[in-house]
Amino acid sequence: MEWSTVQHLDLRHVGRSSKPMQPHAAAFHPTQALIAAAIGNYIIEFDAYTGSTISSIDIGAPVVRMSYSPTSGHAVIAILEDCTIRSCDFDSEQTCVLHSPEKRAEQISTDTEVHLALTPLQPVVFFGFHRRMSVTVVGTVEGGRAPTKIKTDLKKPIVNLACHPRLPVLYVAYADGLIRAYNIHTYAVHYTLQLDNTIKLIGAGAFAFHPTLEWVFVGDRRGTLLAWDVSTERPSMIGITQVGSQPITSVAWLPMWRLLVTLSKDGTLQVWKTRVILNPNRPPMQANFFEPAAIESIDIPRILSQQGGEAVYPLPRIRALEVHSKLNLAALLFVNLTGGDNRKNRAAYTREGRKQLFAVLQSARGSSASVLKEKLSSLGSSGILADHQLQAQLQEHHLKGQRELTISDIARKAFLYSHFMEGHAKSAPISRLPLITILDAKHRLKEIPVCQPFHLELNFFNKENRVLHYPVRAFYVDGVNLMAYNLCSGVENNYKKLYTSIPGNVEFYPKYMLYSKKQHLFLVVYEFSGATNEVVFYWENTESQSANSKASTVKGRDAAFIGPNENQFAILDEDKTG
């Protein structure tokens, strides 16, 4: 499996500005294939599949942080550089101010760390500035809840906020590594996530949530990745690993692959798989819970040059990663190469800078990676080749049996490559937003949703009675729910809950669905961790006078309809016998 570019969203001509700009914030819609990108004073909504621009709104100031509101259709909640919180509604193409700072002169920048948390259970947003002692809550609709400052029960600096996607819980992370879970209605403390004194933490840098299990993933600023099981009254830490020495800035669950991706402050992107719990009665081994996934390291030059993109020099560092909560899509945001933080780096690529750099590389021959990295950073030349690419090339050479190669040798190769790239690559701001995906050559249909192929029913005209026929609904499976999408109105609803309850420690995944138009019968195949797979039968109720439809399950790994009238079906057992 490997990272690959789907397309580049073109942001080169936003606002008719002659000065090239670079996107500095992005957010995916929670359920639809939509993405909003912030560049300059504008927020632009795109179709994530086609790359078409849907709407563009001048919001008045650059966005620092933003997210789609889970309680409205196409509204983005954003914190701006003037410290105001605004709602940007793409349907009406209007904006409204939800909160203004007490001090009008207060300003922040796009690099300022601010915390934003939204819940699907209430039209409110929780926000706070980094290391402040309080959290503010305000309504996400005009005329909604007035701004209220919440004083937490702990007088400690707050370093992050997050809302549970299904439960009325607000997580507040403090600077000493402690995390408190508060009720979003009463602000009463539910529980505390805290390790003993043997493991030192300095505060959560990012949160992520499992889509079906009650697992909370926390990326600490010390570089530690943790997993907590919060399904019981006393949450337990079920997994821990050290990702690196740099703070973890982003953690996201990849739903199609059931993997976890982490981004560190130095731009290192890593993908992890979680250990399957085979015995629910036996607690998991914390040290073995996270394992590196079999995915190639992300190749930034390749990502930027695929699908009509452009190579960029010096090599940009990943600043943020946004992942779609349901689709196999992600967006990469890079550090602005023209910003003040990169002036020292750019000086290293001048003629004089290359002379100094070459001398350092010659003197560092045979040195350890840490010594070389320290010397490179002192010159401001760490952007020649990303750390993870140095390590990947070193590992590749090691596997080929060429053990004499050192990391300084690779750095010298990178130096020669940089000399070539300086005259052949772009050094202006990256004014395109790359959308990326994980490709698996053995399973190219992995991202196709589990749905009924309704296009087979598009027999619009019936000659016998001259009546137009149009399929009313398209069906797909979302977790344990059979969802119905109305093709006329665009409204989706929960058509049937296929399982009433699944144990909290069992991970499940819908593989595919079959539907018999003649028998009005759904067959949905589910894959379970640590248990045999199951096939769910659901007979659709087509008569208003009849009783409720019924559903049942049977053990099996596959299913198919048999006969011309589809009045029979076969189930393939786990031992591959019918």
- 249-261 in b/e form (b: 16+ CB < 10 A) is bbbbbbbbbbbbb
- The distance in angstroms from the start CA to the end CA of the chain is 33
Per-residue pLDDT of 179-204, as tens digits, reads: 999 999 999 999 999 988 888 898 99
Domain count, the chain: 2
Q: Cα dist. 220→130, 175, 231, 332, 333 in Å?
A: 15, 10, 21, 21, 21
Q: What are phi and psi of 424, to 5 degrees?
A: -125, 0
Q: Are both 357 and 462 inside the same structural domain?
A: no
Of 402, 424, 446, the last residue of a domain is 424
User: Is it true that the peptide bond before 120 is cis, omega within 30 degrees of 0?
Assistant: no
Is 371 domain-assigned? Answer: yes
420-424, Cβ contacts within 8 angstroms, sequence gap of 24 or more: 421/311, 421/313, 421/314, 422/313, 422/349, 424/311, 424/313
pLDDT of residue 331: 94
Burial code (b: 16+ CB inside 10 Å, e: under 16) for 308-324 equals ebeebbbbbbbbbbbbb
Q: Kindly report the backbone phi and psi dihedral angles of residue 442, in degrees, each rounded to the nearest multiple of 5, phi listed first.
A: -90, -15
Answer yes or no: are the C-beta atoms of 126 and 135 closer than 8 Å: yes
Lowest mean pLDDT among 155-159, 427-431, 479-483: 427-431
Tell me which of 110 and 223 has the higher pLDDT: 223
Domain carrying residue 374: 344-424
Give yes or no: residues 404 and 505 share one domain: no
Place of tokens 């290293």: 348
Which pLDDT does position 347 carry in this prediction? 46
* pLDDT of amino acid 457: 45
Residues 485 and 568 both lie in one domain: yes
Residue with tokens 């990663």: 321
Residues 395 and 477 in one domain: no
Domain annotation covers residue 375: yes
Considering only 79-93, 252-266, 367-381, 444-458, which range has the smallest mean pLDDT? Answer: 444-458
* Residue at 464 is within a domain: yes
Label residue 444 by pLDDT band (50, 70, 90).
Answer: low
Same domain as 462, residue 417: no
Are 364 and 419 in the same domain? Answer: yes
Burial class of residue 18 in the structure, from the number of CB atoms within 10 Å of its CB (0-12 exposed, 13-18 middle, 19+ buried): exposed
Q: What tens digit of pLDDT does each residue of 16-63 get? A: 666 778 899 999 999 888 999 999 999 999 999 888 999 999 998 999
Q: Is the pLDDT of residue 349 over 60?
A: no
For residues 523 and 536, is the Cβ–Cβ distance under 8 A? Answer: yes
pLDDT band at 67; cut points 50, 70, 90: very high
Same domain, 415 and 481: no
Q: What percent of the chain has pLDDT over 90?
A: 29
Asked if the structure places residue 59 within a domain, the reply is: no
**Do 408 and 466 fall within a single domain?**
no
Q: Has residue 387 got a pLDDT over 60?
A: no
- Whether 460 and 561 map to the same domain: the answer is yes
Answer yes or no: is 420 within a domain. yes
Q: Please, what is the average pLDDT of the chain?
A: 79
pLDDT of residue 352: 58
462 in a structural domain: yes
Query: Within a domain: residue 386?
Result: yes
Contact 44, 36 (CB under 8 A): yes
459 shares its domain with 555: yes
Question: Is 342 a residue whose pLDDT tops 50?
Answer: no
554 with 487, same domain: the answer is yes
Does the pLDDT value for residue 422 go beyond 60?
Answer: no
CA pair distance 444, 451, nearest whole angstrom: 17
Average pLDDT over residues 394-422: 57
> Among the ranges 25-29, 371-375, 442-446, which has the highest mean pLDDT value?
25-29
Q: Are residues 416 and 366 in the same domain?
A: yes
387 assigned to some structural domain: yes
* Residue 468 burial by Cβ neighbours in a 10 Å radius (0-12, 13-18, 19+): exposed
Q: What is the pLDDT of residue 516?
A: 83
Please tell me the distance from the alpha carbon of residue 570 to that of residue 269, in angstroms, as a whole number: 44
